[in-house]
Amino acid sequence: MIAQTKPPALAGARGRGTSKKHNWHAQHSTIPPIEKLLPRLEQAKKTGADRWIAQCPAHDDKRPSLSVRELPDGTLLVKCWSGCGGADIVGAAGLRLHDLFPRSRENRRPLRPSERWIPREALSGVAFEALVVAVAGEQLLAGTPLTRDALDRVAQAVGRLRAAASEVGCG
């Protein structure tokens, strides 16, 4: 017996309703995080569609050991293979941690109704990120400062939670 595989039905037609889309960027001049960070890095080189390497500004970097990744919402993840913390890296580049996150939510195209459906995996992803923030919060409430690694992870969780919130139209 031959099993016939069909592609899953796509809700809504892509490419429709573009009449107002072309000028959304022009209305908001917010600079994407990647365009803020890259010009401040030495020897920045693109290594993939959403990846770059550069010299880490936070330590005496002989060879590029900083990897930068851009998430679909524009949030940047930075990782120094010598172990510098995210806050130190962006600080040495003259930026602050919040510069790694897209500033203006109005920058995003409007959601289509089909995108508001939340699959279970997405929910559990959000729950996990919320847990990361919750654990960090509990630690802070107990008076224990967060390590740099923990701060980096919290920053990543915050970015993901904000992206999730804006995906469903809140925040």
- Structure tokens given for 63: 């060879």
Q: What own/partner pairs with CB < 8 Å and gap ≥ 24 does 142-149 have?
A: 148/85, 148/86, 148/87, 148/88, 149/85
45 or 112: CB nearest Zn ion: 45
Q: Does 80 bind Zn ion (CB under 5 A)?
A: yes
Q: Which stretch binds Zn ion (CB under 5 A): 24-32, 43-51, 58-66, 156-164?
A: 58-66
Looking at the Cβ atoms of 56 and 100, the one nearer to Zn ion is 56
The DSSP code sequence of 114-132 is: GGG---HHHHHHHHHHHHH
Q: Segment contacting Zn ion (CB under 5 A): 82-90, 122-130, 151-159, 160-168?
A: 82-90
Residue of the chain from 37, 41, 56, 136 that contacts Zn ion (CB under 5 A): 56
Longest Cα separation, the chain: 64
Sites of contact with Zn ion (CB under 5 A): 56, 58-59, 80, 82, 84
